[in-house]
Amino acid sequence: MRLPIVTEISQRQRSPFEVLVATILSLRTKDEVTRSASKRLFEKVSTPAELIALSESQIAETIFPVGFYKTKAKTLIELCKKLLNDYEGNVPDDLDELLKLKGVGRKTANLVMTLGFGKLGVCVDTHVHRISNRVGYVKTRTPEQTEMALREKLPKKYWIEYNDLLVTWGQNVCRPISPLCSKCAILNYCCRIGVNRSR
């Protein structure tokens, strides 16, 4: 099973900027599309200054067909301007500061902390939220509630890898609809909450 694209990028070269940009590109976009779009963009830019040297239409054309590519092009320019104006062109390594950036929510901020800086964080996307609840490890309604519950319950030594494991599992086995329970290695430990149909 292939690792999530943002994890792949962080393993090639730990660049908080590339992790941040790739995470924004990945929102509501399949990994294969994000992979190729990120590659094209990072062949042209590696810093906020290089990114804002491109026009909005050049960025949009480069990252197409990621979801909402025109909006993301605009977001990336605004984000990079703030990095240059407020952080000397560096991505901040503080969760609260990251959350001040355009287009950055808790999931993105935690991914930058963990994959960009190697610092502790609990990244919760749709897969982590769904599977954590499905197996019965937490009982929450929103990804943010799941993050807080995991911060309380999950041992810190698993915080960083938890996201990678569950995203990979969620994309390949524990799918949102009709999960592949017959192929699940932890079926005997899973409460299967909310699973009405499986394969």
- Give residue-wise pLDDT tens across range 143-169: 999 999 999 999 999 999 999 899 999
Domain limits, the chain:
5-117, 126-189
Asked, colleague to colleague, whether 5-117 and 126-189 share their fold, the answer is no
What stretches in the chain show pLDDT beneath 70? 1, 3, 5, 13-14
Helix (H) or strand (E) holding 79: helix 69-87
pLDDT tens digit sequence for 44-59: 999 999 999 999 999 9
pLDDT at residue 96, as a whole number: 96
Q: Does the domain at residues 126-189 carry the CATH identifier 3.30.750.24?
A: no
Say if residues 77 and 70 touch (Cβ distance below 8 Å): no
Say if residues 146 and 153 touch (Cβ distance below 8 Å): no
pLDDT at residue 14, as a whole number: 67
Tokens 């929102």 identify what position?
27
Say if residues 71 and 84 touch (Cβ distance below 8 Å): no
Which residues fall within 8 angstroms of residue 32, CB to CB, at 6 or more apart?
A: none
Return phi, psi of residue 137, to 5°: -75, -35
101: closest CA among 116, 114, 118, 84? Answer: 84
pLDDT at residue 7, as a whole number: 78
Give me the CATH code for the 5-117 domain, please: 1.10.340.30
